[in-house]
A and B are shown apart, each in its own frame.
Chain A
């Protein structure tokens, strides 16, 4: 089965073709980061306006790269939520129009289910069950994953997402938007132990997170030490955030008794997080799985993949009726 995947929930337009036998055939992505940088953050209306300009050319590029014709597509998967309502509607409208036009089913996919299952696109791929740490600019969650659609929330952030804390700290240090990757880059030249920042909720005994206090601590540090090197502050922040993420992920493994940890979302590209998790997991005999590096951020491949898993279990009605779900709890999903 050949599935076209379409992602447009935030500031990246992603399209991909996934074959349930041959694997990922092709994928293409357009990031709006530069456009939003001038505004200091994602402007939802501008995001929607860009998605609708990109979605057809990206689809054509993906088909061309795979050497596939439109007629070869068996189904279309698109991100139905959560995300920006207007942005989601662009992908949904195009996907549904195309599906009706081709006479094939279209299925709405949960964005986080896409991220959660994206390490299954890597080689080697994890077996179920596993613990998943989802870390991005919009989400920080620990999930118990027993199978497709069988997700139990173990813990989540009570305020800012981890990626958001990276971005906001970057902004505080006067780094260009998005601050997250800039922080990581700067931190490589810094001394993480020059300053001591709090590890919020690290020993709270549960699996929830809080990052807004850490962000405030950085703000206070910079105010009290105006001469502080940005490199050192970035390094101190990064090590604090990573320690909390790794500590909670390890606690989740212990609590579930699982030996597989899956890490997905934009922050999963962070090298310090990866080395820390790999080292700590190895100590307890667990293995950490990541999506291919190109599929850490939002992309169409994970949507095509998650959609395919659902379609293998059950085909939706091809009636062209659609809605988007800007707020959609992952635990509301049914098992496939």
Chain B
């Protein structure tokens, strides 16, 4: 099975190629240059492994939450590539990819994944054995649920509010992962079981998951 994965939801930019269990990865700190980097990175990966787009079984993209613009770059590029390749697409949550990386690093079964959402808020979700037990949601840092015993905490959202959170969670039994960002490696790996379960869908249904959905007030709400 061959899956191309793209992740551009944070200031990092990564592309991964999953080939029957072997993973090839490109990642770089992109700032806001994702549009200049993501397609060349994907093309290099494919060229190096001698894989053509038409040989892909699916294209996976980091669906979010994360930078709105970043989410749409990965999603839009995926829509275009998948339409051309005629293959299905799979959206993978950025918090779940982050949690998978943290779990692999620390060996923790439970992960509280937290990404900085700017504007004084964070996106957070909780996973146990890779299963989502608290879906991605927006929190004020002080309103985050505290870690459960033995749980590991990961992501930029923790480090952005480290002093506040360590104080609030004093006395709790949790570990802190060094993982800060979601990456294409875990987007690809998480896409494998989804594809096997028949969850791949057509390019037109690829859409970012923003979580922060209130972005403007209607006239009658002002």
Contact = CB atoms under 8 A, between A and B. Distances in A.
Interface of A: 38-40, 43, 45-46, 48-49, 52-53, 55-57, 59-60, 70, 85-86, 89-102, 319-324
B217 interface: yes
Given A46-B216, A97-B84, A101-B85, 18 more contacts: A52-B208, A53-B207, A55-B79, A86-B72, A89-B69, A90-B72, A92-B76, A93-B73, A93-B79, A96-B35, A96-B39, A96-B80, A97-B76, A98-B83, A100-B39, A321-B35, A322-B39, A323-B35
B75 to A, nearest CB: 6
B78 interface: yes
A225 B180 CA distance: 62
A324 B35 contact: yes
Contacts of A90: 72, 76
Contacts of B76: 52, 55, 89-94, 97
Given A39-B216, A46-B216, A89-B72, A322 B83 contact: no
Interface of B: 35-40, 42-43, 53, 68-69, 72-73, 75-85, 203-204, 206-208, 210, 215-220
Contact of B218 (A38, A59, A99): A38
Given A39-B219, A90-B72, A321-B40, A101 B204 contact: no
Contacts of A43: 215-216
- The list of the 6 closest CB pairs from A to B, nearest first, reads A97-B80, A101-B84, A320-B39, A93-B76, A98-B80, A97-B77
Contacts of A70: 83-84
Nearest to A100: B39
Contact of A52 (B38, B42, B207): B207
A100 B216 contact: no
Contact of A39 (B68, B75, B85, B217): B217
* Binding site secondary structure of chain A: helix
B35 A101 contact: no
A225 to B, nearest CB: 26
Contacts of B208: 49, 52
B11 to A, nearest CB: 16
A322 B85 CA distance: 20
Nearest to A40: B219
Contacts of A320: 38-40, 42-43
B35 A93 contact: yes
A94 B69 contact: no
A59 B203 CA distance: 11
Given A60-B204, A97-B78, A321 B83 contact: no
A153 to B, nearest CB: 29
A100 B81 contact: yes
Contacts of A38: 218-220
